[in-house]
């Protein structure tokens, strides 16, 4: 059984297809693993044991009938608790949705089911995806499998921790300012934020609609590509979904190569605030790419310095409106409805009790930024910065094929360290936010351990919009070279739980 | 509440000049809602026509109804507006339990149609041009029913029921520029504008625009300024004035109320007001302690709407004849007065009369039936002409039977009554009820003979030259034939048989 949980998704699917192992055996192995370690890790908010086994049995039955199985059939997956799942609780890490059973599946959920992926359960996250540590979950923090006293990143810490703890070979995350990539970086896993509009947002509870993007999380670049292909593609239920073929990500992941590519190093992503060991591993990655035949170019994107400020106006503004619907009228928590209070009072009491401090902070920030007389100065200016950042990317991609940077300035910090210092917390997304503002694609993959703390460091690769395949081409080449150098995947160095 | 003595309308107008702004919401007649696939049909069980999107469930997303956009462009074109080459939806943020997302998806500074006008015709035929500021797309809210209070308003209610079937139904909001220079005719202009707009919407086929069903709702904004002063006064906003007559009355009342306040040295408070059908008055709505800040911003869940110029021109080509132009054409064709035409319009009979003439009746006959017998029946039943269980084709058939002499007026009325009662088409009713004029000379002759025989004394009188006495015999024959004979022919036959010159 121990072997089954260490397999990659591609290997697992191949073994199931070949009849070497059944989907039920694979699922049971992962459920046993969750049982064994999740009390410590707390990656899951809800485990759907029966549902997962039923899905697995259906896959096995299909194989027995001789039906052709898809490339991920029977592979277990951990789904971030931000995607609606019909009949299964969806909390978004918030008390305000405690007990809510959605009446419908998100498009991503539907596509996973259609691909015969086995959904093990729903993973922990910062409330409404607001945070970089998963400490903002109303249901308690998640531990980083490399060191359970440290954060697994956020908001998708549950998904990345589930991968690193071998509770699932695949996971789904969402990335509004780095919530897929930063958790991947600090847990030594792979995470991809696809081009905005590549993966349907239908059924993905909104934080900041113009920035939110669902994407694949995995332990290998190829697994991420297989999952990317399964969930991406046009959806008529999402008006912002791209009506174009999905870039050939799997093909790219199978043919990693950087020879002759021009790789840009973003000058602005270094200096003060960047941990020495993070920069050391990043610089080694740059050298590695050069050795593999890439041409390294230094690129300046001056407007990136404004990205964090713009982000913290746009995201709170949109969230202040998106979260207005949580008013205790139709679903979720309702507090104070004892027949003596007005609807307004019940709404106020429910929001007071149901939203955590970070959510309240951002709703207030956004309400202020959008208010009459301040709109132009705040939201309006932030949108202009957004345009400048997009232009910086456009100029950069005239010179290079991809950009690279550290994914996040530091390795995993201790739980509690930044909990009372929002500004310090926000800095964790310094390198990831520009991509969300511009809408293009980016990946984080492991590039080694920081010597000073022995914790994973992430390398970020950024590609132009709709060139997601480049991430996989470069990522696969880097992954292969590093794995060869280390003699094994980086995760093997993590302590056993 | 302080009751203000109203100033007489005439006095108000000698001192002040009214300025109006009219905001009309039209519910489009699309099959599905503006941003989801739910049905828009009326009368379904509460909350049976809802889905995650129109209930604002977490994770749900809107998709724009293409027919809704097309309807908006058609309305814009018919109102002589410019059509935006590129425009966005915006979120209007405010909390109310019947609004599922607690924001309304609307349009803010980028309406789909802007800068137009609508020429309206007053009762004396004068044309008044109402300038249009904008027409934009938005969604309706759900419906709250406040239970337990005396008034049906939220004040005093013990609880409220929410029905989201209406939430997300497409609305077009049409806003005029300030209407100036109408003077004492301002209330009449307001009514004529709403009436004309309603006709226009119906002619475009984008909505039935039935005000009594809430498919078209009007807000009347009004202010007064002393005559000769350029600057506008403070306005009041009278909400949900939902009939043509009410629009006129609300404007008239507000003119008198404003004049009373201003004349006595008071100031008008900018506020929303409720209109009361019973006495035509308005009263203040809830006083807002602070100005509502809707925090508009572009809706990030939707992509911009960019109607191509080719498509817009195609829609422009397909626009129907404007109601006012059509009305004037028909009025001339039919040879009726402005006043009669207005009555026909108010009765909702224009299209029915046109359809009846198209089915072969002459226009005088068509008007006679629709504006006479059928209008009376509709009035009695408290329904619209169009809702009566008779079609223009059937009315045309009745008219044809009269024209060929098969029915007289009385029989025709009975035939119509039979059709309305569901007894079948006119020919069936005539057949079943045996309503045809008795024109069989043999049968008629027999009836006449019998009448002469059984009324020998009267017959003698007639023979003796008292021709006027023939009426009694005609009556007897008509009675015997149950009114199905042609009375003139009966009289002829009687005189003939008695050898008397008529």
When pLDDT is averaged across residues B200-226 and rounded to a whole number, the result is 95
Cis peptide leading into A155, omega within 30 of 0? yes
Distance (Å) of CA A458 to CA A33, A432, B90, B386: 26, 11, 39, 72
Say whether pLDDT at A1 is over 60. no
Euclidean distance between the first and the last CA atom of chain B, given in angstroms as a whole number: 77
The DSSP output letter for A414 is: B
Residue B17 CB neighbour total at 10 angstroms: 20
Residue of A nearest to B95 (CA): A324
When pLDDT is averaged across residues B377-381 and rounded to a whole number, the result is 90
Average pLDDT, chain B: 91
pLDDT-based confidence at residue A217 (cuts at 50, 70, 90):
very high
- The string of pLDDT tens digits covering residues A124-143 is 999 999 999 999 999 999 99
pLDDT-based confidence at residue B1 (cuts at 50, 70, 90):
very low
When pLDDT is averaged across residues B291-320 and rounded to a whole number, the result is 95
Better pLDDT: A315 or B441: A315
Contact (CB<8Å) B64/A239: yes
Q: Please report residues of B whose CB lies closer than 8 A to that of A203.
A: 59-60
Yes or no: say if A463 and A193 are a contact pair by the CB < 8 Å rule: no
CATH number of A2-303+387-493: 3.90.1300.10
Q: Please report residues of B whose CB lies closer than 8 A to that of A204.
A: 59
Beta-bridge mates of residue A449: A456
**Structural domain boundaries in chain A:** 2-303+387-493
- The Cα of A435 is separated from the nearest Cα of chain B by a number of Å equal to 17
Residue of B nearest to A340 (CA): B158
Of B25, B371, B360, residue with least CA distance to B174: B25
When pLDDT is averaged across residues B138-157 and rounded to a whole number, the result is 83
What is the C-alpha to C-alpha distance for residues A188 and A281, in angstroms, rounded to an integer?
13
- What distance lies between CA A202 and its chain's CA centroid? 17
For residue A103, give every residue at least 6 positions away whose Cβ sits within 8 Å of its Cβ, in sequence order, or none. Answer: A86, B52, B57
- The string of pLDDT tens digits covering residues A12-57 is 999 999 999 999 999 999 999 999 999 999 999 999 999 999 999 9
What angle, rounded to 10 degrees, do the helices at B338-346 and B350-358 form? 100
Residue of B nearest to A105 (CA): B59
What is the C-alpha to C-alpha distance for residues B17 and B233, in angstroms, rounded to an integer?
10
pLDDT-based confidence at residue B282 (cuts at 50, 70, 90):
very high
DSSP string, A243-255: -SPPP-HHHHHHT
B52, B91, B293 ranked by CB distance to A321: nearest: B91
What is the C-alpha to C-alpha distance for residues A464 and A468, in angstroms, rounded to an integer?
7
Residues of A with a Cβ under 8 Å from any B Cβ are 83-84, 90, 92, 97, 100, 102-104, 106, 201-206, 208-210, 236-240, 317-318, 320-321, 324-327, 329-331, 343-344, 347, 367, 370-372, 375, 379
What is the C-alpha to C-alpha distance for residues A8 and A419, in angstroms, rounded to an integer?
34
What is the C-alpha to C-alpha distance for residues B58 and A92, in angstroms, rounded to an integer?
10
Beta-bridge mates of residue B485: B438
pLDDT-based confidence at residue B439 (cuts at 50, 70, 90):
low
Residue of B nearest to A205 (CA): B59
Better pLDDT: B466 or A475: A475
Token representation of residue A472:
């996989």
Where in the sequence numbering do the catalytic residues of A fall?
80, 155, 179
Q: What pLDDT score was predicted for residue B339?
A: 86
What is the C-alpha to C-alpha distance for residues B398 and B377, in angstroms, rounded to an integer?
16
When pLDDT is averaged across residues A220-235 and rounded to a whole number, the result is 98
B52, B160, B296 ranked by CB distance to A103: nearest: B52
- The Cα of B63 is separated from the nearest Cα of chain A by a number of Å equal to 6
Pairing of strands A441-449, B159-163: unpaired
Q: What percent of chain B has pLDDT over 70?
A: 96
pLDDT-based confidence at residue A83 (cuts at 50, 70, 90):
very high
Q: Please report residues of A whose CB lies closer than 8 A to that of B102.
A: 324-325, 327
Strand ranges, E, within A366-481: 402-406, 441-449, 456-463
How many C-alpha atoms does A319 have within 13 Å on its Cβ side? 26
Say whether pLDDT at A238 is over 60. yes
Q: What pLDDT score was predicted for residue B456?
A: 86
pTM: 0.88
For residue A406, give every residue at least 6 positions away whose Cβ sits within 8 Å of its Cβ, in sequence order, or none. Answer: A185, A269, A270, A274, A278, A279, A281, A282, A431, A457, A458, A459, A460
Of B139, B220, B208, residue with least CA distance to B175: B220
B59, B97, B103 ranked by CB distance to A205: nearest: B59
What value does the CA radius of gyration of chain B take, rounded to a whole number of Å? 30
- The Cα of B65 is separated from the nearest Cα of chain A by a number of Å equal to 11
Say whether pLDDT at A398 is over 50. yes
- The Cα of B168 is separated from the nearest Cα of chain A by a number of Å equal to 15
- The string of pLDDT tens digits covering residues A158-209 is 999 999 999 999 999 999 999 999 999 999 999 999 999 999 999 999 999 9
When pLDDT is averaged across residues A390-416 and rounded to a whole number, the result is 98
Yes or no: say if B142 and B165 are a contact pair by the CB < 8 Å rule: yes
- Name the one residue in this structure whose structure tokens are 């992503």: A269
Delineate the domains of chain B, giving CATH numbers in brackets. Answer: 9-311 (no CATH), 347-433 (no CATH), 441-497 (1.10.10.410)
Token representation of residue A280:
């050391």
């Amino acid at each position: 059984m121990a072997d089954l949980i260490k397999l990659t998704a591609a290997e697992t699917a191949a073994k199931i297809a070949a009849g070497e192992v059944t989907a039920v055996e694979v699922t049971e192995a992962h459920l046993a693993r969750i049982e064994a370690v999740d009390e410590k890790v707390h990656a899951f908010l809800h485990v759907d044991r029966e549902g997962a086994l039923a899905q697995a049995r259906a896959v096995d039955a299909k194989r027995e009938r001789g039906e052709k199985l898809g490339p991920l059939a029977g592979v277990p997956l951990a789904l971030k608790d931000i995607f609606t799942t019909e009949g299964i609780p969806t909390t978004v890490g918030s008390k305000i949705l405690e007990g809510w059973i959605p009446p419908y599946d998100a498009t991503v959920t539907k596509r996973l089911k259609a691909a015969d992926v086995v959904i093990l359960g729903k993973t922990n996250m910062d409330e409404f995806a607001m945070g970089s540590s998963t400490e903002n979950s109303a249901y308690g923090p998640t531990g980083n499998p490399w060191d359970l006293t440290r954060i697994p990143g956020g908001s998708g810490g549950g998904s990345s921790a589930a991968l690193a703890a071998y509770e699932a070979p695949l996971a789904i995350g969402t990335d509004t300012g780095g919530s897929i990539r930063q958790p991947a970086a600090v847990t030594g896993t792979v995470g991809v934020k696809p081009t905005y509009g590549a993966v349907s947002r239908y059924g993905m509870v909104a934080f900041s609609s113009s920035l939110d993007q669902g994407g694949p999380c995995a332990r290998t670049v190829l697994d991420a590509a297989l999952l990317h292909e399964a969930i991406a593609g046009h959806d008529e239920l999402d008006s912002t979904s791209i009506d174009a073929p999905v870039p050939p990500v799997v093909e790219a992941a199978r043919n990693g190569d950087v020879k002759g590519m021009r790789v840009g190093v973003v000058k602005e992503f270094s200096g003060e605030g960047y941990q020495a060991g993070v920069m050391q591993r990043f610089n080694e990655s740059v050298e590695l790419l050069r050795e593999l035949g890439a041409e390294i170019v230094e690129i300046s994107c001056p407007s990136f310095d404004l990205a964090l400020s713009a982000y913290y106006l746009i995201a709170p503004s949109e969230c202040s409106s998106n979260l207005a619907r949580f008013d205790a009228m139709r679903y979720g928590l309702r507090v104070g409805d004892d027949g003596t209070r007005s609807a307004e009072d019940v709404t106020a009491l429910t929001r007071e009790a149901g939203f955590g401090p970070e959510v309240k902070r951002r709703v207030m920030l956004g309400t202020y930024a959008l208010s009459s007389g301040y709109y132009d100065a705040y939201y309006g200016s932030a949108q202009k910065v957004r345009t400048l950042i997009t232009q910086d990317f456009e100029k950069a991609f005239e010179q290079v094929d991809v950009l690279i940077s550290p994914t996040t300035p530091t390795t995993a910090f201790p739980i509690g360290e930044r909990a009372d210092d929002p500004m310090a917390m926000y800095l964790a997304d310094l390198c990831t936010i520009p991509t969300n503002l511009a809408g293009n694609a980016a990946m984080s993959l492991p590039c080694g351990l920081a010597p000073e703390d022995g914790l994973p460091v992430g390398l970020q690769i950024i590609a132009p919009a709709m060139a997601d395949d480049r991430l996989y081409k470069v990522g696969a080449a880097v992954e292969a070279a590093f794995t060869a150098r280390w003699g094994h995947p980086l995760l093997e160095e993590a302590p056993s739980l | 509440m302080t009751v203000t003595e109203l100033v007489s309308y005439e006095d108000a107008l000698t001192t002040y000049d009214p300025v109006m702004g009219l905001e009309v919401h039209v519910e489009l007649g699309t099959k599905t809602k503006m941003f989801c696939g739910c049905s828009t049909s009326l009368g379904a069980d509460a909350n049976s026509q809802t889905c995650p999107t129109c209930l604002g469930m977490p994770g749900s997303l809107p998709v724009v109804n293409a027919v809704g956009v097309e309807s908006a462009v058609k309305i814009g074109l018919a109102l002589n507006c410019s059509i935006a080459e590129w425009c966005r939806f915006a979120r209007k943020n405010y909390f109310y339990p019947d609004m599922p997302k607690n924001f309304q998806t609307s349009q803010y500074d980028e309406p789909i149609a802007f800068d137009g006008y609508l020429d309206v015709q007053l009762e004396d035929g004068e044309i008044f041009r109402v300038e249009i500021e904008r027409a934009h797309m938005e969604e309706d809210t759900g419906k709250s029913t406040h239970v337990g209070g005396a008034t049906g308003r939220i004040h005093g209610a013990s609880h409220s029921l929410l029905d989201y079937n209406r939430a997300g139904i497409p609305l077009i909001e049409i806003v005029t520029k300030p209407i100036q220079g109408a003077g004492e005719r301002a209330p009449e202009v307001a009514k004529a504008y709403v009436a004309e707009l309603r006709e226009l919407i119906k002619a475009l086929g984008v909505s039935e625009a039935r005000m009594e069903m809430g498919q078209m709702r009007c807000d009347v904004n009004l202010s007064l300024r002393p005559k000769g002063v350029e600057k506008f006064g403070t306005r009041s906003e009278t909400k949900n004035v939902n009939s043509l007559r009410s629009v006129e009355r609300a404007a008239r009342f507000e003119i008198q109320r404003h004049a009373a306040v201003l004349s006595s040295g008071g100031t008008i408070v900018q506020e929303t007001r409720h209109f009361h059908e019973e006495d035509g008055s308005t009263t203040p709505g809830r006083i807002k302690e602070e100005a509502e800040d809707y925090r508009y911003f572009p809706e990030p869940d939707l992509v911009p709407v960019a109607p191509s110029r080719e498509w817009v021109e195609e829609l422009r080509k397909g626009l129907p004849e404007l109601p006012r132009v059509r009305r004037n054409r028909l009025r001339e064709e039919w040879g009726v007065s402005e006043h009669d035409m207005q009555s026909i319009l108010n009765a909702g009979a224009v299209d029915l009369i046109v359809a009846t003439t198209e089915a072969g009746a002459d226009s005088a006959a068509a008007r006679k039936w629709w504006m006479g017998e059928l209008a009376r029946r509709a009035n009695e039943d408290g329904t619209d002409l169009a809702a009566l269980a008779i079609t223009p084709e059937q009315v045309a058939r009745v008219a044809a039977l009269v024209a060929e002499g098969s029915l007289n007026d009385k029989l025709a009325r009975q035939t119509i009554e039979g059709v309305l009662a569901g007894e079948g088409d006119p020919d069936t009713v005539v057949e079943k009820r045996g309503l045809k004029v008795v024109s069989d000379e043999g049968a008629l002759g027999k009836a006449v003979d019998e009448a002469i025989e059984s009324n020998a004394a009267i017959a003698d009188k007639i023979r003796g030259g008292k021709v006027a006495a023939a009426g009694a015999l005609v009556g007897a024959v008509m009675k015997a034939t149950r009114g199905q004979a042609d009375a003139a022919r009966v009289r002829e036959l009687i005189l003939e048989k008695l050898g008397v010159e008529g």
